[in-house]
Amino acid sequence: DPTTGHDFIRTIVAEDNRTGKFGGHVVTRFPPEPNGYLHIGHAKSACLNFGLAAENGGHCNMRFDDTNPTREDVEYVNSILRDIRWLGWDWGDNLYYASDYFLQLYEMAVDLIRKGKAYVDDLSFDEIREYRGTLTEPGRKSPYRDRTVGENLDLFQRMRDGEFDEGSRVLRARIDMTSPNLNLRDPVLYRILKASHHRTGDDWVIYPMYDFAHGQSDSIEGVTHSICTLEFEGHRALYDWCLDELDIYHPQQIEFARLNLTYTVLSKRRLIQLVEGGYVNGWDDPRMPTLSGLRRRGYTSEAIRDFCERIGVAKRDTWTDIALLEHSIREDLNRRAPRVMAVLDPVKLVIENYPDGQVEFVESEINPEDASAGNRKLPFTRTLYIERDDFAEDPPRGFYRLSPGREVRLKDAFYVTCTGVVKDESTGEIVEIRCTYDPETRGGTSSDGRRVRGTSHWVSTEHALDAEVRIYDHLFLQEDPGDLPEGGEFTDNLNPGSLRAITAKVEPLLAEARPGERFQFLRTGYFCADLDSTPAALVFNRTVALRDSWAR
Ligand code: ATP
Ligand code: MG
Ligand code: MG
């Protein structure tokens, strides 16, 4: 909306508030199924639902849509609650489980049977699918469709009592087998599943289908706006049908476009395959688009919420460039991450005219974006490490870093001029770069005003610590990893170079880095101490490289 700046959902909610459609309140819900960990797409939905409630002085229910016992687990419940809290959303007292409504839902189903609006069908799942017809072909009625109310009540009760085998009978809505909307061709409402539920144990052997549980759960909770993704657009007529036939309070379903992120899969089914197939190291592998993976990678919840705000809410599916997510974390960490020196691909630099055994301390700013962060002291000695690619023996045009005869700045320390190199006799590899320094340039500026074009970061060899650094790249090679040739598998698109572990030389202060702590490694990127990191064996994850490829 150009006048209010509202997205289409906020426009609907504002209009409902104005007309008093729901008595002026706003109640939303975030309804994950506990069958996997939350991913960045779920964050979009959570931010929309919790955000909308907060903006309107309403509340958002945290509801587990736990109606399919075979795939659900308390591990997932716990991880979801943790992730939502981490994102900064608070459900207060409003934590619900659809499984708490099993009895009420059962009674609603009985009510539909009494009204002649539901029947027990003995067709198999395959037969039901076959009888359903297609978009161009009307469906056919089941031979069991005209059972009497009494017979249906009896059979449904016996389904509940466990008398029948899985797959032998279902309860179906009695709507219209010729409807152009396939969802209305007598959809299944209940099926027999002899599986233990993570909360209700063996109390039930029949379980409601999503389409029967969801709207009624919304109604029970007094939800006003039930926001879901576009795949459910065609289910809205069924959502409305159930509530109307049951004649109970009727929330409004609204659909929005799900997040699709380039080089990423956002489907729990596929994420489970990655975990179970050992393609990644668990749900919190820093390459995973899960909130636990992003957190371990070094993402902040602020950056994720900022990203969710920037992508907005639309009615039609689009793709979001993963560079935008990276831009959000870069912006956040630029403001808050302390700067440190870490050399990822070290080569020795020996300063010939610097006294052997001498140590002096130079001052370096902790964060130029935050004056209150102050300075730290870095030990400077005769032998340092610099990045191998900060030196070129035979510099190409436009290369302003160190090369024979050229002078560069060592960040916050001195100017040095290269005098030569030492090579390994057998391999020809440069093992040492030799230079001299100008003692008059302490702090990295010269009193005579002469300039250098290149600045290198460095660490003193005798003070440097070894750290394992994990460099991540996109998990998939293709922008749309699900765009597959005939017979292809999305796992064929995995990027074999998505994780590269190297040993870096880092400044001594990092010995104290605690798991989860974030830094900018000067000139190379933002990094976060991994969960596995200890003072004796430091491990850092590269959250994101410094260079921003986000094109505005
Ligand atoms: P998946 O396809 O990953 O299994 P789902 O929709 O089955 O997702 P739910 O646990 O039902 O997962 O999701 C909870 C909420 O998050 C739902 O309201 C769902 O619509 C929303 N959601 C899931 N994926 C996305 C996405 N990519 N973008 C936006 N919202 C999403
Ligand atoms: Mg779902
Ligand atoms: Mg799903």
DSSP run (H or E) holding 420: strand 415-423
What is the 269 CA–ligand 3 centroid distance (Å)?
Answer: 7
Among 218, 229, 235, 290, which residue has the most ligand 1 atoms within 8 Å of its CB, making it the best to mutate? 229
Architecture of domain 8-256: 3-Layer(aba) Sandwich (3.40)
Q: Return the ligand number nearest the Cα of 290.
A: 1
Instruction: Report d(CA 473, CA 469) in Å as an integer.
Output: 13
Among residues of the chain, what percentage have pLDDT more than 70? 99
Q: Indicate if the pLDDT at residue 95 is higher than 60.
A: yes
* pLDDT at position 449: 87
User: Can you tell me which atom of ligand 1 is nearest the CA of 44?
Assistant: 29
- Per-residue pLDDT tens for 520-537? 999 999 999 999 999 999
- The model carries a pTM of 0.95
Distances (CA, A) of 182 to 95, 117, 294: 33, 17, 38
What is the 96 CA–ligand 2 centroid distance (Å)?
Answer: 16
| SS3 label, residue 295 | helix
| Residue with CA nearest ligand 1 atom 29 | 258
398 closest CA partner among 454, 455, 456: 454
Instruction: State how beta strands 375-380 and 360-365 pair.
Output: antiparallel
Instruction: Tell the burial category of 5 from Cβ atoms under 10 Å away from its Cβ (0-12, 13-18, 19+).
Output: exposed
Instruction: Report d(CA 330, CA 335) in Å as an integer.
Output: 9
Quote the mean pLDDT of the chain: 96
Instruction: Report d(CA 475, CA 487) in Å as an integer.
Output: 21
What is the 266 CA–ligand 3 centroid distance (Å)?
Answer: 10
* pLDDT at position 549: 72
Q: Return the ligand number nearest the Cα of 41.
A: 1
Q: Return the ligand number nearest the Cα of 36.
A: 1
User: Can you tell me which atom of ligand 1 is nearest the CA of 33?
Assistant: 10
Residues serving a catalytic function are: 33, 258, 268
CATH topology of 268-338+467-545 equal to that of 342-457?
Answer: yes
User: Can you tell me which atom of ligand 1 is nearest the CA of 31?
Assistant: 14
- The confidence band for 289, taking pLDDT boundaries of 50, 70 and 90, is very high
Instruction: State how beta strands 383-387 and 430-438 pair.
Output: unpaired
- The confidence band for 551, taking pLDDT boundaries of 50, 70 and 90, is low
What is the 90 CA–ligand 2 centroid distance (Å)?
Answer: 21
Provide the CATH number for the domain formed by 342-457 in this structure. 2.40.240.10
| Residue with CA nearest ligand 1 atom 4 | 268
- Higher-confidence residue of 444 and 124: namely 124
- The confidence band for 548, taking pLDDT boundaries of 50, 70 and 90, is confident
Q: How many CB atoms sit inside 10 A of residue 430's CB?
A: 15
What is the 41 CA–ligand 1 centroid distance (Å)?
Answer: 7
Q: Indicate if the pLDDT at residue 195 is higher than 90.
A: yes
Q: Indicate if the pLDDT at residue 263 is higher than 70.
A: yes
> Which strand ranges, in their side-by-side order, compose the sheet holding 465-472?
339-340, 518-521, 525-529, 538-545, 465-472, 499-506, 342-343
* pLDDT at position 3: 76
* pLDDT at position 259: 97
User: Can you tell me which atom of ligand 1 is nearest the CA of 271?
Assistant: 3
* pLDDT at position 4: 77
Domain 268-338+467-545: top CATH class: mainly beta
What is the 524 CA–ligand 1 centroid distance (Å)?
Answer: 35
| Mean local confidence (pLDDT), 508-519 | 97
* pLDDT at position 182: 97
Q: How many CB atoms sit inside 10 A of residue 89's CB?
A: 21
User: Residue ranges of the domains in the chain?
Assistant: 8-256, 268-338+467-545, 342-457
Q: Which residues line ligand 1 (CB under 6 A)?
A: 31-33, 41-42, 44-45, 65, 228-229, 258-259, 266-269
- Per-residue pLDDT tens for 206-242? 999 999 999 999 999 999 999 999 999 999 999 999 9
Instruction: Report d(CA 524, CA 542) in Å as an integer.
Output: 9
Q: Indicate if the pLDDT at residue 447 is higher than 90.
A: no
Ramachandran assignment for 470, one of left (phi > 0), alpha (psi -120 to 50 degrees), beta (any other): beta
Among 39, 45, 264, which residue has the most ligand 1 atoms within 8 Å of its CB, making it the best to mutate? 45
Min mean pLDDT across 88-92, 171-175, 368-372, 379-383 is at 368-372
Instruction: Report d(CA 489, CA 486) in Å as an integer.
Output: 9
| SS3 label, residue 103 | helix
User: Can you tell me which atom of ligand 1 is nearest the CA of 232?
Assistant: 20
| Mean local confidence (pLDDT), 372-390 | 97
- The confidence band for 552, taking pLDDT boundaries of 50, 70 and 90, is low
